[in-house]
Amino acid sequence: MRLDGHIHTGLRGDYCGTDENTRQKLMKNLRAAGFDGGVILSADPIKCAAMGAEGRMEDALSVCRGEENLFPLYWINPLESDALSQVERAVELGFDGFKMICSQYNPGCPECLDVLAKIASLGKPVLFHSGICWDGFNSANNNRPGNFEALIDIPNLRFTLAHVSWPWYDECIAVYGKFLNAHYARPDISCEMFIDLTPGTPRGYREEVFRHMVASEYEYRYNLIFGTDSLTTAYNVSWAKEWQERDDALYDKYVREDVEDFKDHVYRLNLLRFLGKSDENPQQKIPMVADYAGDV
């Protein structure tokens, strides 16, 4: 089974409401692309402000209703005055996690950290956009992966950075290594970082990113999640198939051990663990500088 970890509803603010036909068409398209389900992100709180928080929640929930492998995440704007109560309401209604794009705030700002602490206390994860963002705002300084170090002190937070932070994939890899290593310096840390592989990387850069990432000394098997950025209302089957084929060929080329298990994690198991729907408890290797390997 494969799952698409990144599907939008109402991305452009031009769609409100989901009916039975939309859901059936989405499921048909997902299956045609080789998926049994995936993550459904609610509408943009800025572009779709007119829908209201309840309207955006209902819109995403209605896509997922009755489908055990569709997982709704609520897109929250921590600058809204009732953001903390929106967190509670979304969890009460059955959302499996949250989505944020830091268009107009820094991830380390007090409003954002308060909302993240609340989300983590309820056991839910957060999917962040990261990298240059096609949001129409001056937002690059907010979306650099280094900013997300601010999350390290939030207990039990699971978060993922989308698009491998394109074009700052090297910085994304460095922050990921930092989060892994942090367990050595501070074993009390319980915040975990995942990487959402949703394209952002243009096709010509994909191998460059994977060569640096998958074949590097850090442990990636348990923290990469595949996604497409497709829309519920117009799921792009050929795009989804093309990226899986490209990525699969790169895994075959660069993963040194048990490549089928690696793919099963990237396309299914890591997303389920991110969402809190898996009991897998991987023992990740802590990367160290000049790791002592005994006397020669």
- Name which of 171 and 229 has its Cβ closer to Zn ion: 229
Using CB under 5 A, list all residues that contact Zn ion.
Answer: 229
Q: Inter-axis angle of helices 169-185 and 203-213, to 10 degrees?
A: 20
Question: What minimum distance in Å lies between the beta carbon of 6 and Zn ion?
Answer: 6
Cβ nearer to Zn ion, comparing 229 with 247:
229
Nearer to Zn ion, 56 or 221 (CB): 56
- Under 8 Å between Cβ of 153 and 191: yes
Which of 59/229 has CB closer to Zn ion? 229
E strands, 9-139, in order: 37-41, 70-75, 97-100, 126-128
Q: How far is the CB of 229 from Zn ion (least distance, A)?
A: 4
Q: Which is nearer to Zn ion, 197 or 255 (CB)?
A: 197
> What three-state secondary structure class fits 158?
strand
State the minimum distance, in angstroms, from the CB of residue 97 to Zn ion: 14
Q: What DSSP designation does 9 have? A: S
Q: How far is the CB of 130 from Zn ion (least distance, A)?
A: 11
How far is the CA of 55 from the CAs of 9, 11, 22, 66, 72, in angstroms?
12, 14, 17, 19, 14
Burial class (CB in 10 A: 0-12, 13-18, 19+), 21: exposed
Closest residue by beta carbon to Zn ion: 229
- State in angstroms the smallest separation of the CB of 275 from Zn ion: 17
Minimum CB distance to Zn ion, residue 103 (Å): 12
Tell me if 244 sits within 8 A of 34, measured CB to CB: yes
Residue whose CB is less far from Zn ion, 117 or 131:
131
Closest distance to Zn ion from the beta carbon of 258 (Å): 30
Q: Within a 10 A sphere around the Cβ of 183, how many other Cβ atoms?
A: 14
Give the DSSP H or E segment for 142. helix 140-143
Q: Which is nearer to Zn ion, 192 or 229 (CB)?
A: 229
What's the CA gap between 33 and 242, in Å, rounded? 9
Q: Whole-number minimum distance, CB 155 to Zn ion, in Å?
A: 27
DSSP lists the bridge partners of residue 40 as 7, 72
Q: Which of 106/230 has CB closer to Zn ion? A: 230
Ramachandran angles phi, psi of 74, nearest 5°: -95, 125
- CA-derived radius of gyration, the chain: 18
